[in-house]
């Protein structure tokens, strides 16, 4: 694949979009970890902490890219990614357990450790979307991370105002997951002979994730309404 070809640019946009969709939680962690610091120190904590988190994430993604070449692990990764896509629309995670750092390096450590603990979904999703091209992973992170760090408040408000964005993100993740499964080397000959089956499977996975997430949200909404009435 040539760099800056149409295929490369489309894959890069997909990687950036997935990074942004899954990085909302990380933006919250960054804000909470640095909230007790003086304003002039907060910027340093966010910059250093995010830099360390990006380095760890790139290294973790290299490992995952290598692992995805191991037989059957693309299927396992795809199934995990289906679950991650479902959680993106069906659950709201709390971050009250994140401790605010009282010094620069305490905050940096908190940001790096928390991001590493929460970053498995992002690493797995990006590795699948990048189709084992490391340069796509690095470019995607370099572009999306500054957007999340400095535009996190705006981005989170945007998602809260337009909830359909989360469904779009889940659909992209589900599509990536289904692609990972169908690109397993053991399955490739069959799907090459039966492309209709492949596209049908992808459609079923995407539709299943969206419908399951929508149903969960409707139930949660009804229960919340009953608790207030």
Give the separation between CA 149 and CA 132, rounded to whole angstroms: 26
Q: What is the CA radius of gyration of the chain?
A: 19
Whole-number pLDDT of residue 95:
47
pLDDT of residue 114 exceeding 50:
yes
pLDDT in tens, 5-35: 788 888 888 888 777 777 665 666 666 666 6
Domain ranges of the chain: 6-228
pLDDT of residue 127 exceeding 90:
no
The structure's pTM equals 0.70
Given pLDDT bands bounded at 50, 70 and 90, which one contains residue 120? Answer: low
Give the separation between CA 68 and CA 74, rounded to whole angstroms: 5
What number of other Cβ atoms are within 10 A of residue 100's Cβ? 14
Whole-number pLDDT of residue 206:
95
pLDDT in tens, 37-76: 777 777 777 777 777 877 887 888 788 878 777 888 888 8
pLDDT of residue 227 exceeding 90:
no
**Is the distance from CB of 101 to CB of 114 less than 8 angstroms?**
no
Whole-number pLDDT of residue 85:
84
């Amino acid at each position: 694949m040539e760099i800056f070809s149409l295929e490369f640019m489309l894959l890069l946009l997909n990687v950036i979009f997935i990074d942004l969709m899954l990085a909302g939680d990380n933006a919250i962690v960054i804000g909470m970890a640095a909230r007790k610091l003086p304003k002039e120190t907060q910027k340093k904590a966010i910059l250093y902490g995010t830099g360390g988190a990006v380095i760890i994430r790139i290294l973790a993604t290299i490992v995952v890219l290598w692992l995805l070449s191991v037989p059957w692990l693309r299927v396992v990764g795809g199934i995990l990614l289906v679950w991650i896509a479902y959680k993106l629309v069906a659950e709201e995670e709390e971050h009250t357990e994140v401790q605010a750092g009282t010094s620069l390096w305490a905050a940096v450590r908190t940001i790096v450790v928390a991001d590493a603990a929460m970053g498995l979904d992002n690493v797995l999703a990006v590795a699948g979307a990048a189709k084992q091209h490391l340069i796509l992973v690095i470019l995607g992170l370099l572009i999306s991370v500054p957007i999340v760090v400095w535009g996190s408040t705006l981005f989170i408000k945007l998602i809260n105002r337009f909830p359909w964005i989360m469904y779009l993100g889940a659909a992209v993740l589900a599509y990536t997951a289904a692609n990972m499964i169908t690109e397993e080397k053991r399955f490739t000959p069959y799907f090459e002979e039966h492309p209709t089956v492949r596209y049908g499977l992808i459609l079923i996975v995407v539709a299943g994730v969206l419908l399951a997430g929508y149903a969960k949200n409707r139930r949660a909404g009804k229960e919340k309404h009953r608790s207030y009435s």
